[in-house]
Amino acid sequence: MMVDLNALSGLNLLVVGLGREGMALVEFFQAHGLPVTATDSRPEETFGDAVVSSLAEQGVALVLGDHPLDLLDQASLLFVSGGVPLSSPFIQAAVERGLPLCTESKLFCYLCPAQIIGITGSSGKTTTTTLVGQMLVAEGRRTWVGGNIGQPLISELEQIQAGDVVVMELSSFQLEYFHARLNQHVDLNAIGAANPTELAKLLGDWSPSISAILNVTPNHLDRHPTMKDYVRAKRAITNYQKPEDAIVMSLDNDMTRTIGRQFGQKVRWFSLEAQMPHGAGLLNEDLVLFDAQVEPTVVTNKSAVKLRGSHNLSNILAACLLAKEAGASVEAMRAVITTFTGVEHRLEVVAEINGVTYVNDSISTSPERLIAALNAFSESLILLAGGRDKHLPWNEAAWLMLHKVQHIILFGEAADLIEAAIDKARLQALHAIGQVHRRTSLDEAVELAAQLAQPGYIVLLSPGCASYDAFSSYVERAARFKELVNNL
């Protein structure tokens, strides 16, 4: 596919943050002959000589170790990586100068010739996105899966054709750039764009034609100023659809139920508790799709589902509705549901050692995901929890830990906060079984867990926190956990 980059003609591009999205963007711009400058607050040694040399050889102007404000003197358009908050002084200085802001995901959606399915939510995004992608592959559709997971899709753009389908996981960090109001400070005629009309389209409001908000609960309040800001970011995935487009939402979540009712007939509801026209739900022990008259079409029986937990039944129902909107058959859905065993880092069995099963749920970065993980098990549990808190409530998680977990091993920055919540919950607990242990690091936590575990126990890493106090990402945290377990 020929890529039309007229929207970027005449602009000096500045990529802020050289994570996976930033690196992919730099390579994309270089491949298409667009001059680009890249900056990252991390020092040069973080990247290694090979990466720095390679970028320099490609002609990329690199500024590492800081974001000096004089970079903005020549910049026309900033592409901001997800790890860089809008509130950072450098980004705020760009806004004050009237410079527009964009991201890899927004540019990809603007350029992509194929239909896009966009999936967001406070939890369940990765599992649902993966399920939808596999269902469409089972249907025989040429399918691309990415966004907030996997390879940045901008790297695949030239291979994507109009008849393909793209399934994107989109985080609140990415979605806040899909609101045109983010660039309301910009005068397009003042920044030297050769094609201001196309640039306006790139920076304008946009939503995918098939969208899902799986659920909305408090999350990322260390990043978004308020819950209202967090919800507003999520709503970009639905607010700018055309009348003929479709939305998938949970009827069981208070926030999505409220949001969805504003969109009337275009919403496809999924629920573990109710049956809705054009929706998906449970009927006796079956997962079913409903037509306009709420006549059920059985997809499969609950007993055939490989994933643990009722939260995953919700994810499966959402995936069926999304895949159905994109043309997948019930047979394709069933083939995936009855074989899919989960995504990496989500309730992933790492090993069984001396009758003890070690489970990696490092992707659990909020108390809500920790709750879902605990509810997925009936076995005796040893829980490893902690990391960097995201300013989220711990009351419910603390109560559940006391009643479902034999040994609670806390580590990392948030250990004091979590233990205080557990102590408070213990005052109201009737039959608490959880014993609290403290360790400084994940290494020490795994060592203690191995000492405490008995045959039949589950040792569960489900931190309920971000990883950034000790690791660059939940993936790195998971890799260390797996290494420690395998060394046992």
Helices and strands: H and E segment counts in the chain: 17, 20
pTM as predicted:
0.83
pLDDT in tens, 157-183: 999 999 999 999 999 889 999 999 999
pLDDT in tens, 25-57: 999 999 999 989 999 998 888 877 777 788 888
- Please report which confidence band the pLDDT of residue 223 belongs to, taking 50, 70 and 90 as the band edges: low
Q: How confident is the model at residue 222, as a pLDDT?
A: 66
Encode burial over 456-482: b for 16+ CB neighbours within 10 A, e otherwise. Answer: ebbbbbbbbbbbbebbebbeebbebbb
Cα distance between residue 185 and residue 96, in whole Å: 8
Q: How much is the average pLDDT of 248-276?
A: 95
Q: How confident is the model at residue 224, as a pLDDT?
A: 65
Cα distance between residue 52 and residue 58, in whole Å: 10
Q: Please, where are the H alpha helices in 97-191? A: 104-111, 125-138, 172-175
> Is the predicted pLDDT of residue 221 greater than 60, yes or no?
no
Q: How much is the average pLDDT of 258-267?
A: 94
pLDDT in tens, 97-114: 999 999 999 999 999 999
Q: How confident is the model at residue 428, as a pLDDT?
A: 83
- Please report which confidence band the pLDDT of residue 382 belongs to, taking 50, 70 and 90 as the band edges: very high
The overall average pLDDT reported for the chain is: 93
Q: How many CB atoms lie within 10 A of CB 184?
A: 9
Q: How confident is the model at residue 402, as a pLDDT?
A: 94
Report the greatest alpha carbon distance in the chain: 69
Cα distance between residue 289 and residue 295, in whole Å: 8
